[in-house]
Structure 1
């Protein structure tokens, strides 16, 4: 099954008030395994960059000024997405900005039925726990030491690992191991290799109990300890 894990960076929190998408990063997965295929782009938002948003992702208006407009790469992005389910963290936020940009350039919006929200998955699996991407990476032992600021492609890569864990990643590995073991088991009627017992003289078992001399030395040592913990 093909799925796309994606993340966006924006100028703010609400596209209805004029905020725009400035970056998108997408990771392709097939049967929960990253294929190595990805899509990444920065966009010129055609507006200023609020300082609060820049502090989160580090993308300045000057850096984005020579980047393409969303409409210029929308076709390439949609080709990459295809008709696959789309996985995002707090997915309604990312879907909202993606569809707002598609609406601006008069493209068909992405159907919300394709949305898979890892926040909702994590809330169901870990009720009452912290649900941020950082918190989930810590929970599952995913290295995020290189994540200094938010970045769409890096966050999508981390989220892909979190998504596998939320889907039962380790259990999936155990199931695969069981399938491999079952497939390698001998069929009925097949000869089974039997390991022969070693031949030759048997060695007497080694003694493991302390000798009388060792016990005496131990008792003498113990008697010389002042105020022992064992009374």
Structure 2
């Protein structure tokens, strides 16, 4: 399975108020393993950063002014995520902004969901840890992911942390060992796992004494209940 861990940074909290994406960061996973392929771009939003957004990202319009506009990089981004499962924390936020950007670029782009499926790790975390804080920082602490270097929010940095958090949330969801009889078991998809060859299956058959005892038990049940739903060999 090909998955893309994705995060965005924006000029503010609401695309409905005209806020725009200023950074996209993506990490590629194949069969739950990072491939080393990444996608990261800054964008000129054509508007000022809101004070709160500038504070948490450290980005300013002065820094972003010479960066490309989102629509000029859109085809490259869509090619990178095409057909993948997107892993996003609080997906409704990022998907809302991405769909807004797609709509500004042209109706022919459709919606993000036309290009990739979406998995929300915030929903996963809330199901696993109900009633607890499930922010990215809280999950890093809970799952032992080192985020000490995260002084500011950044799309690529947050995608890297989220990749580790996702693997922690889904630890153990590898191969279930359901290979056909006679074929070697495949290795678990978890990093570091090894394949365990299947051993020959032993077939244990009941002895004559055990069969006679079983038949006597069925007859006793039939005599007491009037009918036995599991007839013996003579039936």
Q: Go from structure 1 to structure 2 and tell me whether the alpha carbon gap of 1:186 and 1:63 turns closer, same or farther (over 3 Å shift).
A: same
- How far 1:152 moved relative to its partner? 0.2
User: What is the alpha-carbon distance in structure 2 between the residues aligned to residue 139 and residue 173 of structure 1?
Assistant: 25
Equivalent position of 2:110 in the other structure: 108
The residue number in structure 1 matching 2:89 is: 89
Aligned to 1:216: none
Aligned-partner SS, 1:182: coil
TM-score (norm 1): 0.75
Task: Report the count of equivalent residues.
Answer: 186
Unaligned runs of 5+ in 2: 177-186, 202-235
Q: Shift in Å at residue 165 of structure 1?
A: 1.2
String of CA shifts for 1:18-53, please: whole Å, max 9, x gaps: 010000000100111111101000000001111111
Distance 1:180 1:35 in 2: 19
Q: Are 1:157 and 2:160 matched, yes or no?
A: yes
Aligned to 1:67: 67
Q: Which residue of 2 aligns with 1:132?
A: 135
Cα offset, 1:179, TM superposition: 7.6
1:8-23 aligned at under 5 Å gives the runs: 8-23=8-23
- Select the structure of larger CA radius of gyration: 1
Alignment-derived partner of residue 55 in structure 2: 55
Alpha-carbon deviations, 1:149-178, whole Å to 9, x = none?
000000000000111111125x64997399
Paired residue for 2:3? 3
Match of 1:147 among 141, 150, 153: 150
Q: For 2:60 and 2:193, how far apart are their aligned partners in 1?
A: 51
TM-score, length basis structure 2: 0.73
Is 1:180 aligned with 2:194?
yes
User: CA, structure 1 residues 101+33, in 2 after alignment: closer, same or farther (shift >3 Å)?
Assistant: same
Report how far residue 13 of structure 1 moved: 1.1
Residue 180 of structure 1: CA displacement? 3.5
Q: Which runs of 5+ in 1 are unaligned?
A: 189-231
**Is structure 2 residue 123 aligned with structure 1 residue 120?**
yes
Aligned-residue Cα RMSD (Å) equals 2.4
